[in-house]
Structure 1
Amino acid sequence: MIQEVAPRVPASLGAYREGVAAGPGGPGATPLVALRDPAVFDATLAAFEAGLGVPAGAADRRALVSYWSQFYLAPLATPVLTALVRLGRPLPLAFATTSLELDAAGRPARFLVQPDEAGPPCRSAGLSGLVEDHLRPFVELCRAQCGIAPRVIWGNAAVILDYVARELGEPETMACPEVATCLGWCGGPACARSPLAQALCAAGGGRRRRTCCLRQRLPGVPSCGALCPLKEGRECCGAAGA
């Protein structure tokens, strides 16, 4: 089923059309669970830092992990939501069985999953399956490796998934109630329980982060513009804590 996703990705998201592939990958593929080893995670982060041209060890570690997570989430979100919205099926992307490939600049580029027939069943269907089986372990990984507040990474995930869903088309996404609920488009108790919905708030006819992503702390990296809560004079509360 994975090969059916790419042709259904809109042109505006074409850079991430091949963000998920089936198979073991090459020798450079890293199982996601291996990133729980501080040495493996630090080596992965160091490659990303070098690709940014930042002197080793000069960057705020929490800001660096947050920015790295944005590159991680982008190639994940496009195939996932395309499969859910346009094919009505989840991809087998459990954190425990997925691997990651980096590009030449050390950025997360492609996720490698078990073939459809070998993939483990999700504990829950739809976008909530990705939340429970992949995003929660990923958020915990980032917290464990640098002490970053989980709400910062949830905010990164929410912004990217919300953007991809809108590029796929709001009518199409709204036709998938579970996806729309997870993203907070519908309101009600189910939306209130979604960590993705909780990470964004309405602002100026659009949506904005509730918590700063910290990326502007990195040399040469701009803020996320209108999405940034600091633009409205809100206190940045994402550096530490729950």
Structure 2
Amino acid sequence: MTPEITAAVPDSLGTYRDGVAADSGTGTATPLSALHDPAVFDATLAAFEAGLGVSPGAVDRRALVSYWSQFYLAPLATPAMTALVRLGRPLPLGFATTRLALDGAGRPARFLVRPGTPEGSAPGLAGLVEDHLRPFVELCRAQCGIAPRVIWGNAAVILDYVAREIGEPETLARPEVAACLGWCGGPSCALSPLARALCDRRRRTCCLRQRLPGVPSCGDLCPVRAGGRCGAADGP
């Protein structure tokens, strides 16, 4: 979003260094609030499906939405966590005020935020959870009936990974971020949906990607193999 944030992103996360940018008001980006319209959401998902080379309607819609959410969350998490951990400030990523741009394969590529937008309703990572992730999880549930725990699991794994790439000492130096990820105890940790989605740094619920043809499974990392839950049905 700014040269300062871009420069602070670790090289290992460079693919998503520019995942958040200032919104100039031009281009074909979609307001996130418009995704509540089933027609808009279906068109966005269809572009992603085509990019995967999957025949329309040929796969479990919940698995497709879960996989799409992983591509959505990666460019969101990288600049957002970098700004929180390394610069000590949140990005103005409220779901209601942000637009989404897709790449040529229909994948979420960049979040466009309005200059001057308030930074969030809560400090640290909790602000991103309440202002963006919670509405996003509800959007996915409403559009395909996927269990919220699946999307929370995707978000938790990606944010945890980004935080560790940035550096565990740096992240632990931001107590509000570390607590929200479940890295330490206390009330904030107990209440965090991200912390609840992980157990001993491992996700609790399957992301369903094994249901998509041509998409590699998580292998030994899959929680179902370790006695975890399949997230196909709706539920908390």
Alignment TM-score > 0.5, same fold: yes
Structural mapping, 1:173-212, within 5 Å: 173-202=171-200, 207-212=201-206
**Is 1:236 the counterpart of 2:230 in the alignment?**
yes
The equivalent of 2:34 in structure 1 is 34
Quick one: which amino acid aligns to residue 7 of structure 1? A
What displacement does 1:220 show?
A: 1.0
What displacement does 1:222 show?
A: 1.8
The equivalent of 2:135 in structure 1 is 137
The secondary structure found in structure 1 opposite 2:207 is coil
The equivalent of 1:119 in structure 2 is 117
For 1:150, which of 141, 148, 151 is the aligned residue? 148
> Are the aligned partners of 1:208 and 1:226 in contact in 2 as well (CA < 8 Å)?
no
What displacement does 1:28 show?
A: 1.4
The equivalent of 1:221 in structure 2 is 215
Distance in 1, Cα, partners of 2:222 & 2:190: 21
Distance in 2, Cα, partners of 1:159 & 1:91: 20
Distance in 1, Cα, partners of 2:9 & 2:173: 17
Distance in 2, Cα, partners of 1:236 & 1:142: 17
The secondary structure found in structure 2 opposite 1:106 is coil
> Are the aligned partners of 2:204 and 2:229 in contact in 1 as well (CA < 8 Å)?
no
The equivalent of 2:71 in structure 1 is 71
What displacement does 1:239 show?
A: 2.8
Distance in 2, Cα, partners of 1:11 & 1:239: 38
Query: CA 1:235 to 1:195, structure 2 compared with 1: closer, same or farther past 3 Å?
Result: closer
The secondary structure found in structure 2 opposite 1:99 is strand
Query: CA 1:158 to 1:127, structure 2 compared with 1: closer, same or farther past 3 Å?
Result: same
Quick one: which amino acid aligns to residue 227 of structure 1? L
The equivalent of 2:47 in structure 1 is 47
Distance in 2, Cα, partners of 1:220 & 1:168: 31
Question: TM-score of the superposition, structure 2-length normalised?
Answer: 0.96
> Are the aligned partners of 1:140 and 1:150 in contact in 2 as well (CA < 8 Å)?
yes
Number of aligned positions between the proteins: 236
RMSD between aligned alpha carbons?
1.3
The equivalent of 1:15 in structure 2 is 15
The secondary structure found in structure 2 opposite 1:223 is coil
| Deviant stretches of 4+, over 4 Å | none
Distance in 1, Cα, partners of 2:94 & 2:73: 14
The equivalent of 2:110 in structure 1 is 110
What displacement does 1:208 show?
A: 1.4
Structural mapping, 1:152-167, within 5 Å: 152-167=150-165
Quick one: which amino acid aligns to residue 222 of structure 1? P
For structure 1, the residue ranges without an aligned partner over 5 or more in a row are none
Query: CA 1:121 to 1:208, structure 2 compared with 1: closer, same or farther past 3 Å?
Result: closer
Question: TM-score of the superposition, structure 1-length normalised?
Answer: 0.94
What displacement does 1:5 show?
A: 0.5
For structure 2, the residue ranges without an aligned partner over 5 or more in a row are none
What displacement does 1:232 show?
A: 1.3
> Are the aligned partners of 1:9 and 1:17 in contact in 2 as well (CA < 8 Å)?
yes
Distance in 2, Cα, partners of 1:166 & 1:17: 16
The secondary structure found in structure 2 opposite 1:21 is strand
The equivalent of 2:60 in structure 1 is 60
Distance in 1, Cα, partners of 2:86 & 2:206: 32
What displacement does 1:228 show?
A: 1.5
